[in-house]
Structure 1
Amino acid sequence: MFPHGEEFTRQDTLRGTITPERAWWDLQHYHLEVKVDPDTKSLSGKNTVKYKVLEDANRMQIDLQAPMQLTKAEQDGTELEIEHDGDAHFITLLSDQPVGEEKELVLTFSGTPVEAIRPPWDGGLTWQKDSNGLPFIANSNQGIGASIWWPNKDHGYDEPDQGVLMSVTVPENLMDVSNGRLIGTDHDKAAKTKTYHWEVKNPINNYGININVGDYVYFGEKYKGEKGELDMDYYVLRENLKKAKKQFEDAPKMMKAFEHWFGPYPFYEDSYKLVEAPYLGMEHQSSVTYGNAYANGYLGRDLSGTGWGMKFDFIIIHESGHEWFANNITYRDVADMWIHESFTAYSENLFLDYFYGKEASKEYVLGTRMAISNDSPIIGTYNVNSEGSSDMYYKGANMLHTIRQIVNDDEKWRSILRGLNEEFYHKTVATRQVESYISQKAGINLSPIFNQYLRDIRIPIFSYNLKDGELFYRWENVVVGFEMPVKIYVDGKELDLKPTQRWQQIAIPQEDAKISVDENYYVGTLNISGD
């Protein structure tokens, strides 16, 4: 039933499918109110969900994962019955739900959320302390889902069109930093707490909503960007202020490179923030979290093995790249996570391209090939909350680098990347939409290439035979219908070919000519001469 041999449960289906109990209502806004208790590692609060009625229905699915508890649901002052089915909760609404109208549902929740063991990969809440013994707390929940800690419509296809208001209550000696802009702070002296109100005006994916609690200090700058003045704000632990002021110089450099390649930063209204977190980092929208030890590379290591990866802070560049690919353009189904990770892994070498040139970016992206496993397809299984292979990072990046060679026009390629962010601005998308757009704008049918690299684990092999003054060549190890133009070198002389799965031939007078494929193409080669 499932193409990769996985087994899935009813809970996977409830989480990963646009169920009838989800389809009839469209998210408009969340007001998430949450109190963080560091002593008990617990959360409590309520979420007011504003939605628009699309169809005649009254049974709603809300997601909240155990051990968190959804304790109450209210609409128009009436408490409603909740039917619990694992991590999915079904609420039958009693009041009329006229099509086209906006309604509100108030959800009350509390509990001790799952604690992250290896954040951000396994997901959950992280409860640590800084060097002064003060609490240092954050969530990271891509994959496992935002419903690990607060009740919501936990599926990628629907984002709150009118944004989110977050009201986060923490001990008075700490600060919360969340998405968007800080619009107010309340102090309850009796309870010895402060409540920070953060407003997001743009649509936002659920997993990108975050809380960061600690002894933060602030610094910032104004960036003159493509859409005017952008606030770039930085929140770090008090003890790391000096290091952060130096390391975060990569942030405006990132913005300059990525606005060049991808178009304007997509959330000027909500500002851009880097926030220190007690784990490596995550692409929370307008609140990018940072934990890369204030060092270049990936925790001080070059993932490409070329030296170029030490020219930038990996977390600042990679996680900020997600503002365009993940937060601006968001997958509808987690099976299409490559839309987030392939483009963003590719953004690393585009950053190098902008500041250090095309040869540097080429060396970097080719160097990352050593991280590719080719163990399972990049695209996962749809409708069951299943992501594909981790090859979505650097195999995906090398696929895009290969397509850049096929387009063979850097300005056109840049216009395609910028055009994606304009065409799908603040939208959720499926793979086919992205594929079609790139093919259309490139003027080339790239479907065979996407099928090969996204849906198959094999790497195309350029097979050739030099015999009697002719070069015979074709593609092998490929999906049905695969064809891709490629650049080869014959004794160093460039030659453009359009191989298919059928043998073709071209005159090559030199019997002992040295044949090589341009290494920018992510393919293998096989010389069968003499067989």
Structure 2
Amino acid sequence: MKILLYSLMALLLCVTPTSAQLMQGKNQFSKADTLRGTLTPLRSCYDINYYHLDVKIDIPNKFISGSNEFKFTATQNFRKLQFDLFANLKVDKILYLGKELPFKREFNAVYVTFPNDVIKGTKESFTVHYSGNPVIAKNPPWDGGFIFSNDKSGNPWVSVACQGFGASSWWPTKDHQSDEVDSMLISISVPKDLQEISNGRLRNTVEKPDGYRQYNWFVANPINNYNVTTYIGKYSHWTDQYAGEKGKLSLDFWSLKEDSTLARPHWDADVKPMLKSFEYWFGPYPFYEDGYKLVQAPHLGMEHQSAVAYGNNFKMGYMGSDLSGSGWGLKFDFITIHESGHEWFGNNITTKDIADMWVHEAFTNYSEALFTESASGEDAASAYVVGIRKNVKNDIPIIGKYGVNQEGSGDMYYKGANLVHIIRQLINNDEKFREILRGLNKTFYHSTVSTKQVEDYIATQSGLKLNKVFDQYLRHTQIPVLEYQINDGVLKYRWIADVKDFDMPVKVTLKPGSFSFITPSTHWKTTAIDKAISNESFKPDPNFYINKKLAN
């Protein structure tokens, strides 16, 4: 959810999202932050091709043990590299060509030294064996870590959510968003009376001699390591298919056995309409090879790729509430729609640095409006977008600090969605807008990107100069103010904004009953206006997220 909805914390303390692992407004950074957030030469020297994560989960002792094989291509000659594993987990040994490699640890970074230079372009592998008690989340998914809980019948119910906090909190990995592994085998061993679900497709299960069963899941598509997960419990499983743009998409549903009678009709109501809507707006589901799974989780939700985490208790809205206050937010299950929307923005298109997390959240938050539009029309979608503005705090910029694993304001959700909506108004052509959304997912298919790449693509494809719009809404705190005054049929107007020479067009009431474009700048302009429009009745189109101010 990418850690769902920080901005509501202040409004709905007991029922609202975000993560203690994300969006903390941190201003001072340590060397540990830099080691985690910076793509140093010790990390950029190798490109991850394949992982085999093989982990046994000892639920009573809340203990994990196993290994992860790294297969990589050297991008330059090197002797030493960095991978990541939280310091509370022990590195038992690192094997390379059958021999142990020396290593050193600094905070959560592990430095491995090879016996000889690894030559640029060569493909090599090493395997890290590790064990320990992982960090346990206190309030998942808003703080990261493992969740060891029980279902209503007292059966073990286990999962993990770690976006921002770090995949290295539970497995050895190159813990930087910029390098997605090309494919991955996830082998999780759990007590044989429980089921285990991970990303991708189940290849097989293997009976173990110690009362455990190993589940082997293969992920055929690139995946970011924070999306790798496990769900363990007493599950019911059923399947379906969706006739999508790329053919038949397999649908797998996993609910707790005790909740299956609730889950089946509830998920049926949203999943296929959601896929139809999102394939229309965004293009084909990005992971046909791995299928789509919706899995009940012991936390609210997370966009785990091809295995979306669901914990909304089979309620409409967001835990039974409407985040928009418009009424439209109670027409769908927020978690199903929002977390599935991340399959396109977040999982297909992933930012290189978490500072640019708005790309994930703004477009996914807007996907809720697009789903509403598909179901109930454009006016309903607009009402939803306007309604979620009540959650905006305008506290700090949406874009965070680069290189230190720090995202920006939780406004990336609601304010970000409104920025996307503004861009749609400026394009003023819904088919072109849809082509841009689909084009983003096609152009950056299975890629990691920067904000600049996304901004440049939208500007180029729309033919609009949008740099000042992006700057104002992403890099500054306040929204622009339209200052105006009407005298004797003449409208005088200008922008008050942080961005120099801000000149975003906006629709306003130049005559009763309609909105027309004007192009204010930071200097006063004038235009004729119908004399029926007064200072009191003048208003901007509510689809533009701005403030207005009557000039003195």
TM-score, normalised by the number of residues in structure 1: 0.97
Letter in 2 for 1:364: Y
- Once the 2 structures are TM-superposed, how far is the Cα of residue 495 of structure 1 from its aligned partner? 2.1
Q: Which residue of 2 is the match for residue 280 of structure 1?
A: 300
- Once the 2 structures are TM-superposed, how far is the Cα of residue 35 of structure 1 from its aligned partner? 0.2
Q: Which residue of 2 is the match for residue 516 of structure 1?
A: 539
Is 2:245 the counterpart of 1:226?
A: yes
Extract unaligned runs of 5+ from structure 2: 1-24
- Once the 2 structures are TM-superposed, how far is the Cα of residue 95 of structure 1 from its aligned partner? 3.9
Q: Secondary structure at the match of 1:248?
A: helix
Residue 231 of structure 2, aligned match among 209, 212, 228 = 212
- Once the 2 structures are TM-superposed, how far is the Cα of residue 509 of structure 1 from its aligned partner? 5.5
Residue 47 of structure 1, aligned match among 42, 47, 68 = 68
Q: Which residue of 1 is the match for residue 346 of structure 2?
A: 326
Given that residues 103 and 113 in structure 2 are in contact (C-alpha distance below 8 angstroms), is that contact kept between their aligned partners in structure 1? yes
Q: Which residue of 2 is the match for residue 245 of structure 1?
A: 264
- Once the 2 structures are TM-superposed, how far is the Cα of residue 507 of structure 1 from its aligned partner? 2.0
Task: Provide the rounded CA distance (Å) in 2 between the counterparts of 1:320 and 1:141.
Answer: 17
CA-to-partner distance for each residue in 1:30-51, whole Å, 9 max, x for gaps?
0000001101001100000000
Letter in 1 for 2:226: Y
CA-to-partner distance for each residue in 1:116-159, whole Å, 9 max, x for gaps?
01111111000001122211000000110100100100000001
Given that residues 238 and 252 in structure 2 are in contact (C-alpha distance below 8 angstroms), is that contact kept between their aligned partners in structure 1? yes
- Once the 2 structures are TM-superposed, how far is the Cα of residue 93 of structure 1 from its aligned partner? 1.0
Extract unaligned runs of 5+ from structure 1: none
Q: Secondary structure at the match of 1:55?
A: coil
Letter in 2 for 1:165: L
Is 2:78 the counterpart of 1:60?
A: no
- Once the 2 structures are TM-superposed, how far is the Cα of residue 492 of structure 1 from its aligned partner? 2.7
Q: Which residue of 2 is the match for residue 98 of structure 1?
A: 119
Task: Provide the rounded CA distance (Å) in 2 between the counterparts of 1:174 and 1:113.
Answer: 20
**Which has the higher relative contact order, 1 or 2, with Cα contacts under 8 A spaced 6 or more apart?**
2
> Counterparts of 1:112-123 in structure 2 under 5 Å?
112-123=133-144
- Once the 2 structures are TM-superposed, how far is the Cα of residue 338 of structure 1 from its aligned partner? 0.3
CA-to-partner distance for each residue in 1:245-277, whole Å, 9 max, x for gaps?
011111111101100000000000000000111
Is 2:218 the counterpart of 1:195?
A: no
Q: Percent identity?
A: 48
Is 2:276 the counterpart of 1:256?
A: yes
Task: Provide the rounded CA distance (Å) in 2 between the counterparts of 1:481 and 1:18.
Answer: 35
Residue 173 of structure 1, aligned match among 173, 186, 193 = 193
> Counterparts of 1:402-441 in structure 2 under 5 Å?
402-441=422-461
Residue 155 of structure 1, aligned match among 176, 181, 203 = 176
CA-to-partner distance for each residue in 1:10-46, whole Å, 9 max, x for gaps?
0000000001100110000000000011010011000
Task: Provide the rounded CA distance (Å) in 1 between the counterparts of 2:391 and 2:400.
Answer: 19
Q: Secondary structure at the match of 1:185?
A: strand
Is 2:523 the counterpart of 1:502?
A: yes
- Once the 2 structures are TM-superposed, how far is the Cα of residue 458 of structure 1 from its aligned partner? 1.0
Task: Provide the rounded CA distance (Å) in 1 between the counterparts of 2:326 and 2:45.
Answer: 51
Given that residues 468 and 511 in structure 1 are in contact (C-alpha distance below 8 angstroms), is that contact kept between their aligned partners in structure 2? no
- The worse-fitting range, judged by mean Cα deviation, of 225-234 and 473-482 is 473-482
Letter in 1 for 2:220: K
Residues 525, 66 of structure 1: CA spacing in aligned structure 2 closer, same or farther, 3 A cutoff?
A: same
Task: Provide the rounded CA distance (Å) in 2 between the counterparts of 1:373 and 1:187.
Answer: 52
Task: Provide the rounded CA distance (Å) in 1 between the counterparts of 2:148 and 2:533.
Answer: 65
Q: Secondary structure at the match of 2:453?
A: helix
Residue 453 of structure 1, aligned match among 457, 473, 481 = 473
- Once the 2 structures are TM-superposed, how far is the Cα of residue 511 of structure 1 from its aligned partner? 7.4
Task: Provide the rounded CA distance (Å) in 1 between the counterparts of 2:327 and 2:532.
Answer: 39
Task: Provide the rounded CA distance (Å) in 1 between the counterparts of 2:548 and 2:223.
Answer: 44
Residues 5, 337 of structure 1: CA spacing in aligned structure 2 closer, same or farther, 3 A cutoff?
A: closer
Task: Provide the rounded CA distance (Å) in 2 between the counterparts of 1:95 and 1:186.
Answer: 37
Q: Which residue of 1 is the match for residue 312 of structure 2?
A: 292
Task: Provide the rounded CA distance (Å) in 2 between the counterparts of 1:77 and 1:148.
Answer: 26
- Once the 2 structures are TM-superposed, how far is the Cα of residue 5 of structure 1 from its aligned partner? 7.7
Q: Secondary structure at the match of 2:115?
A: coil
Is 2:22 the counterpart of 1:25?
A: no
Given that residues 397 and 475 in structure 2 are in contact (C-alpha distance below 8 angstroms), is that contact kept between their aligned partners in structure 1? yes
- Once the 2 structures are TM-superposed, how far is the Cα of residue 96 of structure 1 from its aligned partner? 4.2
Q: Secondary structure at the match of 2:545?
A: coil
Q: Secondary structure at the match of 1:265?
A: coil
CA-to-partner distance for each residue in 1:292-320, whole Å, 9 max, x for gaps?
00111111111111111110000000000
The CA RMSD measured in Å over matched residues stands at 1.1
Residue 33 of structure 2, aligned match among 12, 33, 36 = 12
Q: Which residue of 2 is the match for residue 137 of structure 1?
A: 158
Task: Provide the rounded CA distance (Å) in 2 between the counterparts of 1:509 and 1:84.
Answer: 71
Given that residues 301 and 309 in structure 1 are in contact (C-alpha distance below 8 angstroms), is that contact kept between their aligned partners in structure 2? yes
- Once the 2 structures are TM-superposed, how far is the Cα of residue 72 of structure 1 from its aligned partner? 1.1
Task: Provide the rounded CA distance (Å) in 1 between the counterparts of 2:514 and 2:339.
Answer: 40
Q: How many residues align?
A: 524
Residues 471, 195 of structure 1: CA spacing in aligned structure 2 closer, same or farther, 3 A cutoff?
A: same
Off by >4 Å, runs of 4+ in structure 1: none
Q: Secondary structure at the match of 1:482?
A: coil
Letter in 2 for 1:177: I
Task: Provide the rounded CA distance (Å) in 2 between the counterparts of 1:492 and 1:445.
Answer: 29
Task: Provide the rounded CA distance (Å) in 1 between the counterparts of 2:346 and 2:90.
Answer: 29
Given that residues 177 and 213 in structure 1 are in contact (C-alpha distance below 8 angstroms), is that contact kept between their aligned partners in structure 2? yes
Residues 469, 319 of structure 1: CA spacing in aligned structure 2 closer, same or farther, 3 A cutoff?
A: same
TM-score, normalised by the number of residues in structure 2: 0.94
CA-to-partner distance for each residue in 1:306-336, whole Å, 9 max, x for gaps?
1111100000000000000000000100000
Task: Provide the rounded CA distance (Å) in 1 between the counterparts of 2:74 and 2:344.
Answer: 30
Task: Provide the rounded CA distance (Å) in 2 between the counterparts of 1:477 and 1:416.
Answer: 27
> Counterparts of 1:74-93 in structure 2 under 5 Å?
74-93=95-114
Q: Secondary structure at the match of 2:345?
A: coil
Letter in 2 for 1:230: L
Letter in 2 for 1:31: H
- Once the 2 structures are TM-superposed, how far is the Cα of residue 76 of structure 1 from its aligned partner? 0.5
- Once the 2 structures are TM-superposed, how far is the Cα of residue 94 of structure 1 from its aligned partner? 1.2
Given that residues 467 and 511 in structure 1 are in contact (C-alpha distance below 8 angstroms), is that contact kept between their aligned partners in structure 2? no
Task: Provide the rounded CA distance (Å) in 1 between the counterparts of 2:519 and 2:495.
Answer: 10
Letter in 2 for 1:439: A
Task: Provide the rounded CA distance (Å) in 1 between the counterparts of 2:191 and 2:181.
Answer: 29
Task: Provide the rounded CA distance (Å) in 1 between the counterparts of 2:519 and 2:64.
Answer: 59
Task: Provide the rounded CA distance (Å) in 1 between the counterparts of 2:421 and 2:479.
Answer: 15
